[in-house]
Chain A
Amino acid sequence: MQKPVTLTTTRKNFHLPVDKILPFLIPIIVILFWQVSSTLGWLSSSVLPSPMAVLQDGIKLTVSGELPKNLSISLYRATVGLLIGGGIGFVLGFINGMSNTFRLLFDSSIQMFRNIPHLALIPLIILWLGINESAKISLVAIGTMFPVYINTFHGIRSVDPDLIEMGKSYQLTKSQMFFKIIFPAALPQILVGIRYALGVMWTTLIVAETISASSGIGYMANNAEDFMDMETVVLCIVVYAVLGKISDLVAKSFESLLLDWQHTGRSNA
């Protein structure tokens, strides 16, 4: 009886790190290959600077304060834009999901507006608001509003009617009905919308900052391009990738925190 027990523990010890390491394997190989190619001169630095050069550039810009400054302004625009857009999207999705009258009044207009690619509004918004903060924040807000709206709306509309009937037969109050049944049932779908909105948020910001800004990561990249500063251009791309990955991780951990009941399946128990 002793042996199988020791066997399973060694197995566990052997398996766990592999799960953690495996996702990083390809990025590490790519970076190594990239570095080796640059060092051996296969890859000209005018085409693509080496990872070490990009890293050094990053350190230099961090020390000079330029990177932190632009990073924080970009983060600020992204967060405020998402909060405004996501907030409006959620409220509209909630109202239209709960009330047929509001749905008839608003939904088709919203759907029509949604079909305009929001980046097409850049010239109009620059004309209206100039190139100050409100222009970029509005663009992010418009871009993130729709995914949150649509997913909140659908999440609420597709709550299992059997559960709603159950709630009625148990005489739940309107607010109990919403907080105990409708909102938790719609939450997975709402979170899908938020995760999608995070993607839209970064794309919109990159484009907006590249086209018209005097600060932010997008501006940094655009400015570096004017000076043929390859290292900084690549650095900005890397920063965007990292930011995207971080926001995805934040969204994922939110999901597993809020939807823990989904992970209590019998297989895991």
Chain B
Amino acid sequence: MNNSMITIKNVNKIYDNTTALHDVSLDIKQGEFIALVGMSGGGKSTLLRLIAGLEQPTSGSVTINDSSTDSLMRVMFQEDRLLPWMSVLDNLSFGSKDKNTKAHARQLLDLVELGDYANHFPNQLSGGQKQRVALARALMTDPKILLLDEPLGALDALTRRKMQDLILDICQKQNLTTILVTHDVEEAARMADRIVVMKNSTNSYEETCPKNRNVGQIGLVADRVLGEILEEPTLEKQTA
């Protein structure tokens, strides 16, 4: 159970003259839900893209400890990135005519409560619906690792909350290893097993979240993490 799924060792990533990542080491266990938080430009997306294999590190190594190949990892981007010329169903299957693929796509659309929208085009959907389609698409090949780059950033608070619950539910049921990049410390504290703060291009701070947390604990964790990001005294420290 405790074997690590993703091992990041002394990773540096340098673009021209910007250091996006500096000496990042991180071990992520199978089935763990990690939240990456931090200031804008802190290197969160870069780390995610390195894990996804969309880019290579300048030095250091990113290892995925699983022998299975292609369908292992799926990324859900900040924008839905749906193909506007394909129906919702075809967006999941990339237009595949295969019966099983289509049936699987329909199942996933039911899961994200969009079963009635299979033949709609993306521009006929609301922002939240599009993100649910993108989530369903990411789940199509039964991935083991789900990489989420601020997927809920553009949604209103209510839809966002529903999506958080949906994602959590799916990740738990399918025992996915998940990395969620977010600006929202509250969201991180609600969803993650472990919060990793990215600051000055490296992972400067970590916080393990309690299991079955209540609203009060979520607030405290969020506050502590925010304090770390902003380097301000936290509520706890002030009152202590």
Cα-based distance from A170 to B143 in the complex (angstroms): 11
A170 touches B85 (CB 8 A): no
- Is A172 at the interface (CB under 8 A from chain B)? yes
* Nearest CB on A from B120, distance (A): 8
Q: Which residues of B contact A (CB under 8 A)?
A: 52, 54, 70-71, 73-75, 77, 79, 81, 83-86, 94-95, 120-121, 123-124
Q: Which residues of B contact A180 (CB under 8 A)?
A: 83, 86, 94-95
B84 touches A172 (CB 8 A): no
Partner of A269, one of B71, B79, B85, B124: B124
Task: Kindly list 10 other residue pairs between chains A and B, CB separation below 8 angstroms, not including A163-B81, A168-B54, A184-B86.
Answer: A163-B83, A166-B75, A169-B52, A169-B54, A169-B73, A180-B95, A261-B84, A262-B84, A264-B121, A266-B124
Q: Which residues of A contact B94 (CB under 8 A)?
A: 170, 172, 176, 180
Cα-based distance from A184 to B74 in the complex (angstroms): 23
Contact residues of A: prevailing secondary structure: helix
Q: How many residues of A contact B (CB 8 A)?
A: 22
A266 touches B95 (CB 8 A): no
Cα-based distance from A42 to B131 in the complex (angstroms): 69
Cα-based distance from A262 to B121 in the complex (angstroms): 9
**A269's closest neighbor in chain B, by CB?**
B124
Q: Which residues of A contact B121 (CB under 8 A)?
A: 261, 264
**B138's closest neighbor in chain A, by CB?**
A170
A165 touches B54 (CB 8 A): yes
A261 touches B85 (CB 8 A): yes
Q: Which residues of B contact A166 (CB under 8 A)?
A: 75, 77, 81
Cα-based distance from A259 to B85 in the complex (angstroms): 8
A169 touches B84 (CB 8 A): no
- Is A19 at the interface (CB under 8 A from chain B)? no
Q: Mark A160-195, 1 if CB is under 8 A from B, else 0.
A: 001101101111100010001100110100000000
Q: Which residues of A contact B71 (CB under 8 A)?
A: 171
- Is A4 at the interface (CB under 8 A from chain B)? no
